[in-house]
Structure 1
Amino acid sequence: MDNVTEKLLQCFGHKKFKSELQERAVRAIARGVHDVYVSMPTGSGKSLCFQLPAMLQDNKVAIVFSPLLALIKDQIDHLTRLKIQAESINSKMTSKDRERVLNDLQSMKPNTRFLYITPEQAATVTFKALLEHLVKYKKVSYIIVDEAHCVSEWGHDFRPDYLKLGFLREKFKSIPWVALTATASTEVTKDILENLKLLHPVAQFKTPSFRRNLFYDVVYQNCIEDEVGDLAEFLKKSLKDDDNVKARDKNAAIVYCRTREQTEDIARMLCNKGVKSLAYHGGLKGSERVSVQEQWFNGEFPCVCATVSFGMGVDKASVRAVVHWGLPQNVAAYYQESGRAGRDGKPAFCRIYYCRSERNAVDFLLKSDIARSKTPEQKQRCKNAYKSFEIMVKYCEDVGCRHKTFADYFGEEPPRCGTRCDACTDARAVRRALEQHMRRAMSATLHRAGFVSHDDSSDLYGQGRDGQKREIESYYGDGGDDSDGESSRRRVAEETRSLIMHEFAQRKKSIEKDKKSNDSESAKYSKCKAADSTSTKVNGLTVASRESYLSLLKNALNENLASLKDVDEPIKPLSKNNVEQCAIELEYEAFSSSTVISLYRRAMTKLIATVKASKDSLYFRLKTFEPKKRETLGELVKDFEKSKQGESHKSHGFITASQLEGRIEDKNGARELSKADRETKRKANSFKKDSLTQTKLKSFFTPKTAQESSETSSSASDDEGGLIIDEHSKPDPCESTLKLDEIEDNTDEDDIDKTLKIEEISSNSKNDSNSKTLVINITLQGVPSKRANEEKVEHEQEDTHPVDENIKGSPNKKHGPAKKKN
């Protein structure tokens, strides 16, 4: 027994290699003379090809580049169970663990034998410095690139960061490199060798893709009545357990679905059919995904319905069935995913449930990717992916050996399949199923396009062609055949169906009516803003839903405020009612910015999550919220009255005599006019006009004569800013005109008295002897000065005189305060 075989038994517990190719690859890598490229199917033991040679190098570390943290974790767990120390440097590590790993690697004799990192981590300053240190002191045994197909744009999982690894190869030429992959076509193999810049000659070891223990077949969904029932029966047949095995080693199955919703639906329906299943997808929390994976791995749930993210790095040997619910996107991905079955070498089954609608969906997505490509490189990658998809379509819609498709794709000789696929086992049955699928798919396409119509023709004469057909069938059905009975049964079935559909429609209307009634009733008592417009603004949204979201948001805000009351306080003190006000405002913002119910739900869910995530500081909208004053009805009435009173006291350039009188009485209260005096003032300040006649604007202005114009211009210097408003009366001689002269406010501070003079002038000529002139002087007193108090009595006597001759003679001149006579 040589050193390699001894180490294989000592470290990994195997007495011999899985295959001759595996042993040859291990020995070539152990020599370390050339760079090595290994391509082996999943489950063929390709990880051992670099792990065993690395264990032969004492006090050295093998650096392994791997694309996924899940794959890294699985590899580290596997080596840990074998008591081989393996570590990783990644973004999810704590600073304490990172420091521990770096200190060990920088020691003289590191205990770490394998260091797993992602290609993104390779670009960091920390790793570059670490790698230079390890190379300087000759502590690196190998640099391994796992899942090397990620370096190729032809690969199904291209990663641009893999391209940067080629620069490391050029920089550290003394370290042997190993590239490994499970799926590589001729183009991918060429890209791996060129992009990683492996030193020639490169030792290549490639295992044929043909796996004898896997049986491949295709089932057409539109050819079976119950697709999920058929899937359940297939899984039950595949998962027959041996009672003598441990729970961890019991048979298992994987059902790959295209969407997250499908994983949930298929898992639920399989459970109803008696197959214990769990759903796994990226929408679950990290802890939930780990829990699902562990329950499946430990045999608690034999089946897992998952998206394609599941299985990378999951090494369970007893997988008996891998099902794809829909068409896979490319050949390499399907080969790798289906290859997770039968790793123990026992028979396993790989099945595709093919559906035209799923095919069309994937076709649309891939073509959309091509259309959205911005660079020639992206466009070429999308076109390569579409070509691989077309091969998968041919795989499902053609009667040919399934294993041959893989061999052609990977550039290998066609294998001797025998009975290891449905096409080679019973080609005639596969052809019949394919023809039936094509007919039904074509019929469905024509029906959707409108070429096949089953519209109601009861309103046509004789019920149209359908009626004539039924009459002919009824007439000729009296012979010996059963056409009349069949026609009669069809009519009864159609009438029953129509009655049922009518009843369903009536119930639906009743339910919708009750729903609207309940919604309008709920809106009356809802705390949400614009509750009565809920269903109008967002179709399908109910007031009850808004109330429930509002309650969740209010609880989240209250918890945020209570948990941080000693750490971060709001700008203004907030009560529970204030928090509720804030919640109502935030909910209304989400409601008013949404047009469909999904957007509203997403906005509210994101808002509540954001509030709950604010654990270090108070939620900013809650911190800056300004509570609104909650006023009683009495306070609102008082505020309204004050506002109306303030509006009435505002100056608009013209103040009525009654307003002035009121102000004087409020301020001084010194003089009270008699009822007769108040009547006199009221008459003097009123316009004589008919309330039922519309007054024109021109009627307020009197045209001046030339003499009046000259007098006005001569006194312009003394009367700038004087405003004269004349109302011209009608031609009736009995009518009169009011003329108001604005008082010039040029009096001294001590002389507060102002005179408002109103003159009534007859519309007749001044020379008319019958004309009468009435002049009423109203003295308005403000805050009386000392001199005004001494002459108070004398002013009151002057106010009672009807006419002043001096004033009467000059009606157009400006008048100041009244003066005493000598």
Structure 2
Amino acid sequence: MTSIQKALKSHFGFEKFRSQQQEDVVNAVVKGDRDVFVCMPTGAGKSLCYQLPAVLANGITLVVSPLIALIQDQVDQLQARNIPACSINSKLPAQERRSILEDLERDSPCLKLLYVTPEMLASPSFQPCLSSLSARGLVSRLAVDEAHCEDVVRSLNLRHPLSFSTPVFRSNLRYDVIFRDVLPDAYTHLHAFIKKALGDGPAGQGCGIVYCRTRDGCEEVAHRLTRLGVSARPYHAGLKTADRTEAQSDWMQGKVSAIVATISFGMGVDKPDVRFVAHWNLAKSLASYYQESGRAGRDGLPASCRTYYSSQDRDQIGFLIRKEIARIQKKRGSEKEQDRVAVTDFEAMVAFCEQEACRHATISQFFGDGRPDCAGACDFCRDPRVVRAQLEAAARLSTRTGPAQSREPSGPFGFDPQLYAGGRKGYGFERYDEDSGSDKEDDFENRKKEFGNLFRKQMKMRKGSGVKEVFVPPDADCPLREASSQRIPKLTVKAREHCLSLLQSTLDSHQEAAVLEESSDTRSLAVEMEHEVFRSSKSANLYKASVLKRVAELKKGADGVTSPPVGGGENSSHGDGLTDSKPDPSSSSSSSSCGDFLGFTPASQVYSLKRKRVGAGLRGSSNPFQTAAELLSREHDVSGGGAGAWSGAGRDAQTADAPCRPGSPEAGEGRKRKTESADSPPPPAPAPPRL
């Protein structure tokens, strides 16, 4: 007995290899003088082809595998056989990661197989460890598992590799198709199929898988089967991790007869006594269907593979595939070969179900193999009349889809690279399932990311196109103050100049109406008013609204707006832009001084005549700000600052009832006398004039 055969029995418990080809592959890998490329169908024993040589080699075999779940399953199996194996991945606890890295830093590590994902292999955190192992000559082999792509030979730079391939035909699998549309009760039919399939195996042994397209479908089918007497558990990404683990564990231990799952289940699960695989929904491609159905009968005993076909599934899945193709084409702006392949593969699956032909022959021809000897291993070869009767009944209910054309093998060694999960041209059909089977991203994180993208897109649409406007600088003779300032977004110099001209024209019209003094410089006054509005506004809309408010107040000047002085600065008192350069104790700043003497007040102005509550810094205006000069002047007025504070109170009292010109000093004085006479004692008599 050779060392290879001894290791096969002592470490893996097998007396002999599963096939002669598997033994040839192991011998070639152990010899190690050439690279080896292995293409075998599901259940042919590909993993053993690199695991057994790893046990015999000095050093570490680095295994690259796409899924963490697949890696963990193989690591658990190896550790159960006392073979030193571990994995470094993103879900590994920190303490366990440190322990593994410490072992890898030793001169003679205990590990025999180290599993990593492609992302971990390329990560900067793992590169130093890999470089250290390579520099010390501790990497004995590199194995790439589940290499579903055509360019694997070119990517790995394989030089004249030995190629091993196996025909896809498996004589122990019995295929049949049932048209669900013509069944009176599909769930009862599925229950009978499961009972019959499990009855073929030894008593108390055997189990099966029912594949569904959606999570809701998994829940519904599992519930119906349980009610009919079959112990079934659902398995999908919507369940908690603990519930999924429990469901898989019960199924692996034989406590559950059927596990109802999405297509992600079964990847890397090595359970030999799977007696049936039923597809409750149509698979996305014939390649995917072959891989999923191939999880049955790995022990070489007979197993049943059934598809429940319906026109509704066909139409829905076809629509999803075309929609996804259109989305990707719109994103990249061009059409690629994989777009056409996606549709062709789905049409091949439809043809597999609808045509009158041997099921095994259809699969073999799809992958480029010759026609096998079915020998009654499919429903058509057993009884073609039953298949024809189903097709005729289904034709009355739905429109049949034309058969798809098979294509020639296109792989690097004369085989179809989509032999397993659809390969690179498989177009990622798992994205159409609610459970993608990927351990890289959690389902909740995906939904959270999608919502964030949608929210940002909507907010961007609300803000506009986002094109930044170019600021046009002012002319050399621009009269505006701070004309080059861009403190208010989207406010142009042209808009400010327009507002300035609007203010000036209003002031000019009031000067003609004698509201302003003849000596007033309306140009300078308009510039100061515009600048004050510019400094107090934070947006272009608020700026324009404030300017219109000033214009409206100026137009009401005939109703009592006093003459706004030229200039602003620190002596400005009113926050609305109509400011006093300095408080005049001889006149009032009330905007409705003449309303008391004209005898009529419009209803719209009644509220403006109401006395406002005076708070800190509030002088009855909309702006609570007051300068220090105003506060001192007001304190002087209230405390009775001598004859100067009431210098106008003793002049001709009879003029209080006389008509007054709006905005004139006499109007202000008359209103003050009338107000103070009712609420306060008369002011002291003015001092006699000096001679």
Range class of TM-score, shorter chain? 0.5 to 0.7
Is residue 2:235 matched to residue 1:236?
no
Is residue 2:302 matched to residue 1:347?
yes
Measure, in 2, the Cα distance between the counterparts of 1:379 and 1:756.
99
- For residue 115 of structure 1, what is the amino acid of its counterpart? L
The match for 2:677 is 780
Equivalent in 188, 205, 225 of residue 164 of structure 2 = 205
Measure, in 2, the Cα distance between the counterparts of 1:760 and 1:54.
116
Q: Deviation at 1:265?
A: 0.9
Instruction: Tell me the alpha carbon deviations over residues 555-600 of structure 1, each in whole angstroms, 9 at most, x when there is no partner.
Output: xxxxxxxxxxxxxxxxxxxxxxxxxxxxxxxxxxxxxx9xxxxxxx
RCO higher in structure (CA 8 A, sep ≥6): 2
8 A contact 2:29–2:50 mirrored in 1: yes
Instruction: Tell me the alpha carbon deviations over residues 729-784 of structure 1, each in whole angstroms, 9 at most, x when there is no partner.
Output: 9xxxxxxxxxxxxxxx99643679675766599xxxxxxxxxxxxxxx98916544
8 A contact 2:643–2:687 mirrored in 1: no
Measure, in 2, the Cα distance between the counterparts of 1:16 and 1:298.
26
Measure, in 2, the Cα distance between the counterparts of 1:328 and 1:43.
20
Taking a change above 3 Å as real, the CA distance of residues 110 and 725 of structure 1, as seen in their structure-2 partners, is closer
Q: Deviation at 1:30?
A: 0.9
Taking a change above 3 Å as real, the CA distance of residues 8 and 728 of structure 1, as seen in their structure-2 partners, is closer
8 A contact 1:752–1:785 mirrored in 2: no
The match for 1:437 is 394
Q: Deviation at 1:92?
A: 0.8
Normalised by the length of structure 1, the TM-score is: 0.51
SS state of the match for residue 125, structure 1?
Answer: coil
Taking a change above 3 Å as real, the CA distance of residues 757 and 132 of structure 1, as seen in their structure-2 partners, is same
Is residue 2:36 matched to residue 1:81?
no
Taking a change above 3 Å as real, the CA distance of residues 104 and 376 of structure 1, as seen in their structure-2 partners, is farther
Q: Deviation at 1:130?
A: 1.8
Measure, in 2, the Cα distance between the counterparts of 1:299 and 1:27.
35
- For residue 645 of structure 2, what is the amino acid of its counterpart? E
Measure, in 2, the Cα distance between the counterparts of 1:221 and 1:120.
42
Taking a change above 3 Å as real, the CA distance of residues 20 and 238 of structure 1, as seen in their structure-2 partners, is same
Instruction: Tell me the alpha carbon deviations over residues 86-112 of structure 1, each in whole angstroms, 9 at most, x when there is no partner.
Output: 011101112211111111112111110
- For residue 35 of structure 2, what is the amino acid of its counterpart? D
Taking a change above 3 Å as real, the CA distance of residues 725 and 130 of structure 1, as seen in their structure-2 partners, is closer
The match for 1:302 is 257
SS state of the match for residue 38, structure 2?
Answer: strand
Q: Deviation at 1:238?
A: 1.2
8 A contact 1:148–1:192 mirrored in 2: yes
- For residue 215 of structure 1, what is the amino acid of its counterpart? R
Is residue 2:353 matched to residue 1:396?
yes
Number of paired residues?
447
Taking a change above 3 Å as real, the CA distance of residues 48 and 440 of structure 1, as seen in their structure-2 partners, is same
Measure, in 1, the Cα distance between the counterparts of 2:111 and 2:367.
37
Q: Deviation at 1:145?
A: 0.5
Where do residues 673-688 of structure 1 align in structure 2 (5 Å cutoff)? none
The match for 1:319 is 274
Is residue 2:23 matched to residue 1:28?
no
Alignment gaps of 5+ in structure 2: 401-454, 456-555, 561-585, 601-636, 660-672
Is residue 2:373 matched to residue 1:416?
yes
Q: Deviation at 1:723?
A: 4.8
Q: Deviation at 1:379?
A: 3.9
Q: Deviation at 1:193?
A: 2.4
Q: Deviation at 1:48?
A: 1.0
SS state of the match for residue 269, structure 2?
Answer: coil
Measure, in 2, the Cα distance between the counterparts of 1:786 and 1:757.
18
Where do residues 56-95 of structure 1 align in structure 2 (5 Å cutoff)? 56-58=56-58, 60-95=59-94
The match for 2:177 is 218
Equivalent in 631, 641, 645 of residue 749 of structure 1 = 645
The match for 2:286 is 331
8 A contact 1:750–1:785 mirrored in 2: no
Higher Cα radius of gyration: 1
Normalised by the length of structure 2, the TM-score is: 0.60
Measure, in 2, the Cα distance between the counterparts of 1:377 and 1:103.
49
8 A contact 1:369–1:382 mirrored in 2: no
Measure, in 2, the Cα distance between the counterparts of 1:320 and 1:94.
37
The match for 2:229 is 274
- For residue 261 of structure 2, what is the amino acid of its counterpart? A
Taking a change above 3 Å as real, the CA distance of residues 408 and 785 of structure 1, as seen in their structure-2 partners, is same
SS state of the match for residue 205, structure 1?
Answer: strand
Measure, in 2, the Cα distance between the counterparts of 1:195 and 1:138.
22
Instruction: Tell me the alpha carbon deviations over residues 144-184 of structure 1, each in whole angstroms, 9 at most, x when there is no partner.
Output: 000011xx2xxxxxxxxxxxxxxxxxxxxxxxxxxxxxxxx
8 A contact 2:643–2:684 mirrored in 1: no
Instruction: Tell me the alpha carbon deviations over residues 768-815 of structure 1, each in whole angstroms, 9 at most, x when there is no partner.
Output: xxxxxxxxx989165447957xxxxxxxxxxxxxxxxxxxxxxxxxxx
Taking a change above 3 Å as real, the CA distance of residues 425 and 756 of structure 1, as seen in their structure-2 partners, is farther
Measure, in 2, the Cα distance between the counterparts of 1:243 and 1:320.
10
Q: Deviation at 1:198?
A: 1.5
Taking a change above 3 Å as real, the CA distance of residues 70 and 127 of structure 1, as seen in their structure-2 partners, is same
The match for 2:239 is 284
8 A contact 1:753–1:781 mirrored in 2: no
- For residue 22 of structure 1, what is the amino acid of its counterpart? Q
Taking a change above 3 Å as real, the CA distance of residues 36 and 753 of structure 1, as seen in their structure-2 partners, is same
Where do residues 328-727 of structure 1 align in structure 2 (5 Å cutoff)? 328-373=283-328, 374-375=331-332, 379-442=336-399, 723=594
Q: Deviation at 1:46?
A: 1.3
Measure, in 2, the Cα distance between the counterparts of 1:304 and 1:785.
101
8 A contact 1:752–1:782 mirrored in 2: no
Q: Deviation at 1:40?
A: 1.4
The match for 1:803 is none
Taking a change above 3 Å as real, the CA distance of residues 437 and 748 of structure 1, as seen in their structure-2 partners, is same
Instruction: Tell me the alpha carbon deviations over residues 444-481 of structure 1, each in whole angstroms, 9 at most, x when there is no partner.
Output: xxxxxxxxxxxxxxxxxxxxxxxxxxxxxxxxxxxxxx
SS state of the match for residue 125, structure 2?
Answer: helix
8 A contact 1:253–1:319 mirrored in 2: yes
Measure, in 2, the Cα distance between the counterparts of 1:336 and 1:278.
22
Measure, in 1, the Cα distance between the counterparts of 2:350 and 2:274.
26
Measure, in 2, the Cα distance between the counterparts of 1:287 and 1:57.
37
Is residue 2:148 matched to residue 1:193?
no
8 A contact 2:61–2:112 mirrored in 1: yes
The match for 2:421 is none
Measure, in 1, the Cα distance between the counterparts of 2:346 and 2:384.
23
Where do residues 763-774 of structure 1 align in structure 2 (5 Å cutoff)? none
Measure, in 2, the Cα distance between the counterparts of 1:423 and 1:280.
32
Measure, in 2, the Cα distance between the counterparts of 1:54 and 1:758.
114
The match for 1:7 is 7
- For residue 401 of structure 1, what is the amino acid of its counterpart? C
Taking a change above 3 Å as real, the CA distance of residues 749 and 44 of structure 1, as seen in their structure-2 partners, is same
Measure, in 1, the Cα distance between the counterparts of 2:86 and 2:196.
41
Taking a change above 3 Å as real, the CA distance of residues 375 and 199 of structure 1, as seen in their structure-2 partners, is farther
- For residue 81 of structure 1, what is the amino acid of its counterpart? A
Measure, in 2, the Cα distance between the counterparts of 1:212 and 1:408.
15
Alignment gaps of 5+ in structure 1: 153-187, 444-592, 594-696, 702-717, 730-744, 762-776, 789-816
Instruction: Tell me the alpha carbon deviations over residues 351-379 of structure 1, each in whole angstroms, 9 at most, x when there is no partner.
Output: 00001111111111111121112337884
The match for 1:496 is none
Measure, in 1, the Cα distance between the counterparts of 2:85 and 2:599.
110
8 A contact 1:753–1:780 mirrored in 2: no
Q: Deviation at 1:21?
A: 0.6
Measure, in 2, the Cα distance between the counterparts of 1:4 and 1:759.
126
Instruction: Tell me the alpha carbon deviations over residues 491-522 of structure 1, each in whole angstroms, 9 at most, x when there is no partner.
Output: xxxxxxxxxxxxxxxxxxxxxxxxxxxxxxxx
Instruction: Tell me the alpha carbon deviations over residues 420-448 of structure 1, each in whole angstroms, 9 at most, x when there is no partner.
Output: 001111112101111110112159xxxxx
